[in-house]
A and B are shown apart, each in its own frame.
Chain A
Amino acid sequence: MISLLKVEKVTVKYGVIPAVRELELEVGRGQIVALLGANGAGKTTTLKTIVGVLRPARGRIFYDGKDITSLPAPQRVRLGIALVPEGRGIFNRLTVRENLLLGAYHRRDQGGVLQDLEEVYRLFPRLKERENQIAGTLSGGEQQMLAIGRGLMSRPRLMLLDEPSLGLAPLVVRELYTLIRRIRESGVTILLVEQSAPMAIGVADYVYVLETGMVKIAGTPREVESLEEVKKVYLGG
């Protein structure tokens, strides 16, 4: 397996308190990797470190074979890493279209951007309808679609999704996961963070379970599903 992302013994601290300790994680090209764990396990911290908002105290991060540990966030976006933040993180006061265009902020190919905008609108006809509406007025599901659409506008090679199903109705979550599969089929590698495990395990090629900032369990979905503690804690049985 050629890995697109490799996190090597990364420790991230808030002040003196480590939120993530000696984390090892690998995402292969074209894979969907799920990162599970309870609240406060360090999932979001991990994503923020990968995208460059947080700096690790120790350890290194490799992307596409290159060490990106000290690269600032905007430059990582340029390399094709896109984070779809938790709670959507869209710009509420901007229009849908403006949000999407900002996803492509670093790109210089005007034509390509507009083409991708049409592509996103094809994927989410609702967004096309609401193109000039202020994003803050969209429903929760639409906002999530917008956040993902905005992520796609950067033409990412690696997409980090932080709890995309949070606060969405079950039907919308199902739609969302169909979409995640389609995005992977289009060649984008995905690292998916979720608290609700069954759907995530369902689409994943590989699963990590974090606990208090450390990898507790790692394995293929089948391996992970069969573990008693995973069943008990994450699969509700």
Chain B
Amino acid sequence: MFSLSYFLQQSMNGVILGCIYALLALGMTVVYGILRLINFAHGALITLGAFFMYFVFFRLGLPFVAALFLVLGFGGVMGLVLDLVAYRKLRGGPEVALLITSLGFYTFIENLTKLIVSPQPYAFKTPEFLATLYRTPYLTFRTVDVFIILSSLLIMLAFHLFVKRTKLGIAMRATAENLEIANLMGIEVNRVISVAFVLGSAIAAFTGFLWGAKYGQISYDMGFLTGVKAFVAVVVGGVGSIPGAMLGGFVLGLAEVLSIAVLPTRFAEYRDGIVFAILILVLLIRPSGIMGIREEVRV
């Protein structure tokens, strides 16, 4: 049977993967809430963020904190560019046009990355001060694990306070509920949407670094399945609900890691399948997700 320490160890891994999904889901759910856009390009941001960090931190040797802020800024700018170049012109058009565009931009960014960096994965060393190993009777972990969990929780808390307490955050939720009425309140809807893209993309780029630091490898196509799974987290948690997206991320991360840990080794290659099985299961039981609000029919 499995020992307690094995279970704890895997749970920690699950929570960390959950952090990554949850951070990505945050940006996706906000954009989806407003535009009804499944933003596949969001996944590309973690690839870009990971490689950007690789270059500014490892190659250019900038101080860690400066590199982190640069990654956040870079992600934000990319989000703004995506919004302006890819999506703004399509507002008011059919939702499927947005969807196809986001797939197109994902593919474009992925191939561009492949062209610029390499089709081969890059080894991503964990920064030295994050690589310290701690052994306790039940749990073995590195500083980077603590860093991922704490920074993720901090970002989620900050995001939560942003949407609950700030004027812009309240306007964002209002826009997600009813764009036309938000417009009537004097809210510049386009600005709110840009802010949603900027924040979500900055977080995604940062997540790219977390990914690299944890798993030690980054590649041009790392964003695709991760992005899709983050959207699964959005749906599982309940579309349109920000706490739901975070919860969905953790549920997914834990379920993915624990099911692999518990099942015989030959099932390991089914881990992606398991994620989608969870999606189907949740939707069968609760069609609007764990914390979802029933969608009103849009006239």
Interface residues of A (CB under 8 A from B): 51, 53, 73-74, 77-78, 83, 85, 89-94, 98, 101-103, 105-106, 150, 154
Which residues from chain A contact B171 at a C-beta distance below 8 Å?
Answer: 102, 105
Which residues from chain A contact B185 at a C-beta distance below 8 Å?
Answer: 77, 102-103, 105-106, 150, 154
- Stretch in B54-62, B150-158, B173-181, B244-252 touching the partner: B173-181
A102 partner, pick from B174, B180, B188, B293, beta carbons under 8 A: B174
Report how far A105 CA is from B173 CA in the complex, Å.
13
B170 beta carbon closer than 8 Å to chain A: yes
B170 partner, pick from A53, A73, A89, A94, beta carbons under 8 A: A94
Q: Could you tell me if A106 and B181 are in contact, using CB atoms closer than 8 angstroms?
A: no
Interface residues in B, total, Cβ within 8 A: 17
Q: Closest 7 interchain pairs by CB?
A: A77-B186, A106-B186, A74-B186, A89-B181, A102-B185, A91-B174, A105-B186
Indicate with 1 or 0, residue by residue over B162-178, a CB within 8 angstroms of chain A CB atoms: 00000100110110011
The smallest beta-carbon distance between A107 and chain B, in angstroms, is: 9
Q: Could you tell me if A83 and B184 are in contact, using CB atoms closer than 8 angstroms?
A: yes
Report how far A101 CA is from B165 CA in the complex, Å.
11
Q: Could you tell me if A154 and B186 are in contact, using CB atoms closer than 8 angstroms?
A: yes
Q: Could you tell me if A77 and B184 are in contact, using CB atoms closer than 8 angstroms?
A: yes
Which residues from chain A contact B174 at a C-beta distance below 8 Å?
Answer: 91, 94, 98, 102
B183 partner, pick from A53, A103, A154, beta carbons under 8 A: A53
Kindly count the residue-residue contacts between A and B in the assembled complex, taking CB atoms under 8 Å apart: 57
Q: Considering residues A53, A89, A91, A154, which has the most beta carbons from chain B within 10 angstroms of its beta carbon?
A: A91
Q: Could you tell me if B170 and A101 are in contact, using CB atoms closer than 8 angstroms?
A: yes
Report how far A90 CA is from B183 CA in the complex, Å.
13
Given that A74-B183, A101-B167 are known contacts, is A93 also in contact with B188, CB under 8 Å in the complex?
no
* Contact sample, A vs B, 25 pairs, CB 8 Å cutoff: A51-B184, A53-B184, A73-B184, A73-B186, A74-B183, A77-B186, A85-B181, A85-B184, A89-B178, A89-B181, A90-B181, A91-B174, A91-B177, A91-B178, A91-B181, A93-B177, A94-B170, A94-B173, A94-B174, A102-B174, A102-B185, A102-B187, A103-B185, A105-B171, A154-B186
Given that A89-B178, A93-B173, A93-B177 are known contacts, is A105 also in contact with B167, CB under 8 Å in the complex?
yes
Known: A77-B185, A89-B178, A91-B173. 18 other contacts (CB 8 A): A51-B184, A53-B183, A73-B183, A73-B186, A74-B187, A74-B188, A85-B184, A89-B181, A91-B177, A93-B177, A94-B177, A98-B170, A101-B167, A101-B170, A102-B185, A105-B185, A105-B187, A106-B186
B293 partner, pick from A77, A93, A150, beta carbons under 8 A: A93
Closest to B187 in A: A105
